Amino acid sequence: MAVLGTTAPALGGAPVDGVYTSAAGDLLEGRFSEAWVGGGQGQIGNTVYAWSWDEVTPATQWELLCPALATPPDLIEDTVDEYGNGHRVYRTEYTGGMFMLEGSGPWGGGDAWYFGDLYYYVHTTTMQFQDWELIGYTTNAQLSGYFSGYEKCMQLTIANAASQGIGGIPPADYPELRTQEGGCVPVPPGVIGEWGTVWSLTMVISNCSTAAEGMSWTAVKSLYR
For the segment 104-150, what is each residue's pLDDT rounded down to a tens digit?
999 999 999 999 999 999 999 999 999 999 998 999 999 999 999 99
**Average pLDDT score over the chain:** 90
Q: Please tell me the predicted confidence (pLDDT) of residue 223.
A: 43
Q: How confident is the model at residue 216 (pLDDT cuts 50, 70, 90)?
A: very low
Phi–psi pair at 218, nearest 5 degrees: -65, -40
Can you tell me the mean pLDDT for 80-92?
Answer: 97
Q: Does the pLDDT value for residue 6 go beyond 60?
A: no
- Nearest C-alpha neighbor of 58 from the set 35, 28, 34: 28
Provide the 8-state DSSP code for 117: E
Q: Please tell me the predicted confidence (pLDDT) of residue 213.
A: 46
| Length, in residues, of the chain | 225
Between 58 and 225, the higher pLDDT residue: 58
Q: Please tell me the predicted confidence (pLDDT) of residue 225.
A: 43
Q: Please tell me the predicted confidence (pLDDT) of residue 138.
A: 93
What are the distances in angstroms from CA 53 to CA 27, 31, 37, 58? 10, 7, 24, 5
Can you tell me the mean pLDDT for 174-196?
Answer: 96
Q: Cite the beta strand spans of 148-192 per DSSP E.
A: 154-168, 178-179, 185-186
What are the distances in angstroms from CA 77 to CA 56, 100, 143, 207? 38, 33, 22, 36
Burial class from Cβ neighbours inside 10 Å (0-12, 13-18, 19+) for residue 176 reads middle
Q: Please tell me the predicted confidence (pLDDT) of residue 39.
A: 94
Q: Does the pLDDT value for residue 14 go beyond 60?
A: yes
Q: Where are the domains of the chain?
A: 18-192
Q: Please tell me the predicted confidence (pLDDT) of residue 174.
A: 98
Q: How confident is the model at residue 209 (pLDDT cuts 50, 70, 90)?
A: confident
Q: How confident is the model at residue 151 (pLDDT cuts 50, 70, 90)?
A: confident
Can you tell me the mean pLDDT for 26-38?
Answer: 97
